[in-house]
Amino acid sequence: MYSATIGFFDGVHLGHRFLIDHLIDDAQHHGIQSMVITFDEHPRKVLGSNFQPSLLTTPEEKYHLLRQTGIDRLEVMHFDRTLSALSARQFMADVLSARLHVSRLFIGYDNRFGHNREESFPDYVAFGRELGMEVMQTPQMELSDHHVSSSSIRKFLAGGCVEDAALCLGYPYCLSGEVVSGCQEGRKIGFPTANILPDHPDKLIPRAGAYAVSVRIDDEPMERPAMMNIGQRPTFGGHTTTLEVHLIDYHADLYGHRLTVGFRHWLRPEQPFSTPEALSLQLQSDREAALRVLSLQTTKI
């Protein structure tokens, strides 16, 4: 038998871990195992072909973070239209009870499931009573003045408020991707950059602008100080969004390597400069600001 919870858990933020901690404590108290049930695809992406998720974590990142919580079992379900057609009661009876042997179910304060999410927590309690499953609801987590939720974190990142996002996530927001060839304009003005192609097309890209970031190369344990620009390179007439990282005092070739970028501080908006030389002067100022910020932040990616 299992004490379990279910959800998409994008970001595996502090609110999710608050719920999972309750789940683990409950399982240990009742002498059963703990289980988190999640999905491989965002339900709205499956149900609405025009929906484009802005994911805080790729599936692989999410699974890794969930396993790190200390749960006994992670169950990843393939979400498709057949699964989405099940009512909440059918899902609880056929999947949670019969297939996964859930005897105790924890529901997040705002979580709803089943076809069209038609039922609510009192319905889950009633269905559970029929199935011999106890259903409980965890309270909402509040962190200082922050409402902790995946949607609030997305809003922080869309506004460049990466420190607020990190506070709610419990770790700096990260982007990972392979270094691909670029226009090499930065090299000409003394600030060579690595252009990153993100691992997952649905991963959220924070607000355009310059950032102080920390970078891991491939699987190296150490982090390197860096600054990053997200934008269209207006000084050079660019028209497509690029993700360019300048590793401070690092001179080796990065093509083909994979970088993991942790966002630490938003420095300024992207802006056009009259000459490449004027941009170079601004980048020198950005470099000093990034080093100051990074010297004060010790949280690891």
E-only strand ranges, the chain: 2-6, 33-39, 73-77, 102-107, 134-137, 142-143, 146-147, 174-180, 194-198, 209-217, 224-231, 242-247, 258-268
Q: How confident is the prediction along the chain (301 residues), in pLDDT tens digits per residue?
A: 999 999 999 999 999 999 999 999 999 999 999 999 999 988 888 777 677 789 999 999 999 999 999 999 999 999 888 988 899 999 999 999 999 999 999 998 778 887 767 788 899 999 999 999 999 998 878 777 778 999 999 999 999 999 999 999 999 999 999 999 876 666 767 788 899 999 999 999 999 999 999 999 999 989 999 999 999 877 766 678 899 999 999 988 899 999 999 999 999 998 888 788 888 898 999 999 999 999 877 544 4
Show the domains of the chain with their CATH numbers. 2-140 (3.40.50.620), 147-296 (2.40.30.30)
Instruction: With beta carbons less than 8 A apart as the criterion, state whether 247 and 226 touch.
Output: yes
> Which residue in 14, 5, 2 sits closest to 152, CA to CA?
14
pLDDT of residue 300: 47
pLDDT of residue 104: 97
pLDDT of residue 301: 45
Largest separation between any pair of C-alpha atoms in the chain: 73
